Amino acid sequence: MGNITGTCHDNETIDFFYNNSGKAINTQWKKRDVLIVTLGLIVCFIVIFSNFLVVAAIFKNRRFHFPIYYLLGNMALADLFAGFAYLHMMFHTGPWTIKLSPNQWFTRQGLINTSLTASVLNLLFVAVERHQTIFNVQLHSSMSTRRVFIVMLLIWLVAIIMGLVPQMGWNCTCHLSECSTMAPLYHRSFLIFWAVLNLMTFSIMVAVYTRIFLYVRHKGRQMSQHTSTTRQRETMMNLMKTVSMILGCFVVCWTPALVVLLLDGLNCDRSLVLGPEKYCLVLAECNSFVNPIIYCFRDQDMRRTFKEILCCNWSQRHKNRGFSEVKFHTVEQENGKSRIPKAKERSNGAPLIRASSEDIPASLIN
């Protein structure tokens, strides 16, 4: 169906736009629909549960009441919101889609856009923060708590705007020939913009983590040449593995969905878009429960707080009000410490070492 110049179709049904884009709406449940919804619900509950644990742990444990943990908590909050947004979508997809009004459809998609944008922005900011921490000579981040909260508010402001942009006008209700296939009420230019923006964010993260990776590898070689301390070399190697894991999970979870969105925006063949569509969305959502595992579950003090929450032990008070017990040194500090005899200390197996209260929390490099 071609574009009707000067005519908008805001009052049409969802079926009208889906027929225009050539995307069929199932009126009855099929095995594929049941499979997708089932997988989606499982992912949703895992995302909600895991990120709720992270948020609750940061709220409960006073040792986590510091800027970097607020950032990690905001990332978990974004992923928690993503879980609820995706849960909402699971109950408004498949044969239920045809019952939606255009505004309900925009709300469904806007929640997903908002949650995923907030999650990606949080990932980006944590990556930049880690880069600054590793390369900065100072022990602590120079960012104040007030600035951290301002950044968090800006992240959500940008995410909400991204979710509302299509509903506020950047759609194809007045330009039917420009409607996308995956999202029949979205303008193709918006999909290109959204996909390219996220791919650019992805590229920045690749650059940041690659620089960290190369820096750590370089320092590891220096340490192997100038010191025989085995733990220091192991710390370097563990950090490289952690960085590779973070980057690899992001690539695996996000690249397929972004590529499919870009192909749709470029008006590629429908079979290339509709075939992997739902599976790519589920895979992208999986990133929301991978984040707590990578960033928080390896923190010994965080794990202990999780156990207290799961055992309903909310009455326990932590006597120490400083940083998390498991802390780390920067690479430069570790090189300096190699010349100072130290008593044998305990490690939790991650690239972390126990230090004084002047050090940064483990989650920055965990």
Q: Is the pLDDT of residue 336 over 70?
A: no
Contact 176, 9 (CB under 8 A): yes
Would residue 1 count as lying in a domain? no
Least-confidence region, from 62-66, 156-160, 243-247, 359-363: 359-363
* pLDDT mean across residues, the chain: 76
What is the average pLDDT across 167-186?
89
Range of the domain at 194: 19-364
- Confidence category of residue 314, pLDDT binned at 50, 70, 90: low
CATH of the domain at 255: 1.20.1070.10
- What is the pLDDT at residue 234? 62
Residue-level pLDDT at 186: 93
Report d(CA 91, CA 114) in Å as an integer: 18
Residue 111 lies in a domain: yes
Q: What local confidence, expressed as pLDDT, does residue 226 receive? A: 54
Report which of 20, 242, 12 is spatially closest to residue 127, judged by C-alpha positions.
242
**Is residue 243 in some structural domain?**
yes
**Which distant-in-sequence residues (6+ apart) come within 8 Å of 181 by Cβ?**
21, 22, 23, 264, 270, 273, 274
Residue 252 and residue 248: Cα distance in Å, rounded? 6
Query: Is the predicted pLDDT of residue 34 greater than 60, yes or no?
Result: yes
Query: Is residue 9 domain-resident?
Result: no
pLDDT tens track for 120-138: 888 788 777 777 777 764 5
Q: What is the mean pLDDT of residues 335-339?
A: 48
With a pLDDT cut of 70, the percent of the chain lying above it is 73
Which of 8-12, 87-91, 263-267, 318-322 is predicted with the least confidence, judged by mean pLDDT? 318-322
- Does residue 268 lie within any of the structural domains? yes
Mean pLDDT of 40-46: 88
Tokens read off for 70: 């607020």
Task: Give the residue, 162 or 61, on which the prediction is more confident.
Answer: 162
* Residue with the larger pLDDT of the pair 87 and 353: 87
Indicate the DSSP class of residue 140. S
Q: With cut-offs at 50, 70 and 90, classify the pLDDT of residue 146.
A: confident
Q: Is residue 242 part of a domain?
A: yes
Is 70 exceeded by the pLDDT of residue 241?
A: no
Residues 6 or more apart whose Cβ sits within 8 Å of residue 178: 3, 172, 187, 188, 189
Q: Is residue 3 part of a domain?
A: no
Q: Is residue 5 part of a domain?
A: no
**Considering its fold, how many domains does the chain have in total?**
1
Where is pLDDT greater, at 236 or 96? 96
CA angle 126, 129, 132 (to 5 degrees): 155
Q: Which two tokens stand for residue 282?
A: 């589920």
